[in-house]
Amino acid sequence: MLHERHSIKAALFDDIYAAHDLSLCVPRYKIPDAERDPRHAYRIVMDELILDGNSRQNLATFCSTWVEPEVLDIMAHCLDKNMIDRDEYPQTAEIESRCVHMLADLWNSPHADNTMGCSTTGSSEAAMLAGMALKARWRANTAAAGKSGGKPNLVTGPVQVCWHKFCGYWDVELREVPMEAGRYTLSAAEAVRRCDEGTIGVVATLGTTFTGQYEPIQEVSAALDLLQAEKGLDVPLHVDAASGGFVAPFLEPDLQWDFRLPRVKSINASGHKFGLAPLGVGWVIWRDKDDLPAELIFDVNYLGGNMPTFALNFSRPGGQVVAQYYNFLRLGRQGYRKVQQACQRVAEYLAEKIDEMGHFELIHRGPGGIPTVCWKLNEGQDHGFNLFDFADRLRTRGWIVPAYTLPPNCERVAVQRIVVRHGVSRSLADALLADMRQAIEYMNKHPSAGPGVDEAVGGFKHT
């Protein structure tokens, strides 16, 4: 026993990388038999994580990569709070309810106190719930009119993959308006042309994934009003404001996209994007209680009290919701405006400097959308590289600036995009610009030696 005590005491003072169990192979695909010193297990995990990229340099993601220290403390305090367990954590449930009404007010609900909504694990789940409500409402209206309706369909512009998932999972035909050269968003006329008695709704996006531009939501709403007046088709409008829902109210408060348009029945947004909350929270708000069919709300009584629930997920953490509420209190409208203005200024600065490089045609410069910059290569110019080469070269410096092809009918156009989030400062932008110039200089000296023209990436030389 004495020998064992001395061994344990000696191990406490060992340099952690001199520890015996860190010199052994760690099982990767099965749970090990023996337990480990918590310091050693922690070090193993942390050493694995250093192989990840630096999230602050990930300019592809729309999600928050920087939060205030107070948010970290809130998240730690809420680690054990289950959002679904409203009886056990009633104040967390109250905070969620406050956020719903705050957002309804932000998005100009005519009766914010009569609004229905909930938090979700992200904007994709929120979109699914909104789509389910559209389908249920259409089904009820069709039955009330004594019609069969046929297979339901959903009309959208070029949408994020969550809407493809919704249509696939819930047996809805997706009628996606394709892009055209020079038009990368939904066209009101094309949307209306695809509507019929089977249309459960039209989805317009406030800040598209592909370019960051706002779709003409007011125009789409007016076109649907005219459709109802002429043909009697009452097609509801849903706004996917995953990113723009936390940008437009502060940068373009007069822009008509939200519940000020009577045809807008629901809005989804992502709290963990420009809402500045940590990863793991989205929001869906309905204009009125009647826009969320009661058949989709379920009562649960086995957690200690009777609780109505409408979500795809059940148990989920409450910390992100509480952190969202903290941001609302901490920043207020003034603070959110300052943050988003700072992001927009950096986006415009990046656009100006990227334009000066002489290789790129800017598609989106920031204003008229979320703070993003999107570009393609100038046509009719031999660059010696394509955007995929450029993205790969920037990655050697840690930057993730994605290059990708656009959806139909522009799949031969390759673009690149930068998302300017909270924390992408002017100095960080200058560091990126320096690396972009260096990458171009390198590729001018070492041009791609591809076999020729690859139409799949917009007619650029492709390695």
Model's pTM, two decimal places?
Answer: 0.91
What does the pLDDT average to over 285-311? 70
| Whether 374 and 309 share a structural domain | no
Average pLDDT value for residue range 225-232: 97
What pLDDT is stored for residue 334 in this prediction? 98
For the segment 67-123, what is each residue's pLDDT rounded down to a tens digit?
999 999 999 999 999 888 777 888 999 999 999 999 999 999 998 777 889 999 999
Rounded to an integer, the average pLDDT of 147-167 is 92
> 164 and 114, same structural domain?
yes
Q: Is residue 57 part of a domain?
A: no
Looking at 29-89, list the stretches that DSSP marks H as alpha helix, in order from N- to C-terminal side. Answer: 38-49, 69-77
If asked whether residues 74 and 221 sit together in one domain, one would say yes
Res 282: pLDDT: 96
417 lies in the same domain as 456: yes
Choose one of 261, 294, 328: the last residue of a domain: 328
Give SS3 for 404: strand
**Residue at a domain's end among 275, 295, 328:** 328
What's the mean pLDDT in 185-206?
97
pLDDT band for 456, please (50, 70, 90 cuts): very low
Neighbouring-strand partners of residue 362: 375
Does residue 301 carry a pLDDT above 80? no
320 lies in the same domain as 364: no
* Lookup: tokens for 79: 């680690």
pLDDT at 150: 85
Residues 23 and 130 in one domain: no
Task: Assess contact for 211 and 376: CB atoms under 8 A.
Answer: no
Domain at 366, CATH number: 3.90.1150.160
**Domain check: are 155 and 222 in the same one?**
yes
CATH code (residue 26): 4.10.280
DSSP code at position 147: -
Q: What are phi and psi of 286, to 5 degrees?
A: -100, 145
Per-residue pLDDT at 448 exceeds 80? no
pLDDT at position 462: 38
Tell me the CATH number at 263: 3.40.640.10
Last residue of a domain, one of 271, 297, 328: 328
Full residue range of the structural domain in which residue 30 is found: 2-50
Measured CA to CA, the distance from residue 154 to residue 127 in angstroms comes to 13
Would the pLDDT of 455 be above 90?
Answer: no
Rounded alpha-carbon distances, angstroms, from residue 449 to 201, 226, 392, 437, 461: 48, 55, 15, 21, 8
**Is 337 inside any structural domain?**
no
Using pLDDT thresholds of 50, 70 and 90, give the confidence band for residue 234: very high
**Residue 187 counted as domain residue:** yes
Q: What is the token pair recorded at 210?
A: 């592909």
Q: Does residue 407 share a domain with residue 309?
A: no
pLDDT for 20: 81
Residue 335 within any structural domain of the chain: no
Q: Determine what percent of the chain is predicted with pLDDT higher than 70.
A: 91
Mean pLDDT, the chain, integer: 90
Q: Are residues 185 and 269 in the same domain?
A: yes
Please check whether residue 414 lies inside any domain of the structure: yes
Strands 116-120 and 282-286: antiparallel
DSSP string, 14-37: S-GGGSGGGSSPPPSSS--SS---
**Single-letter amino acid, residue 460:** F
61 domain residue, yes or no: no
Q: Are 316 and 373 found together in one domain?
A: no
CB-CB contact of 165 with 128 (8 Å) = yes
Separation in Å, CA 80 to CA 125, 308, 319: 22, 21, 9
Q: How many domains does the chain have?
A: 3
**Whether the predicted pLDDT of 185 surpasses 90:** yes
CB 124 within 8 A of CB 117: no
State residue 453's pLDDT score.
35
Q: Is 285 in the same domain as 159?
A: yes
100, 285 in Cβ contact below 8 A?
yes
142-168: average pLDDT: 92
In contact, 275 and 269? CB cutoff 8 Å: yes
Q: What percent of the chain has pLDDT over 90?
A: 75
Contact 261, 206 (CB under 8 A): no
| 100 closest CA partner among 86, 82, 114, 80 | 114
Q: Are residues 321 and 355 in the same domain?
A: no
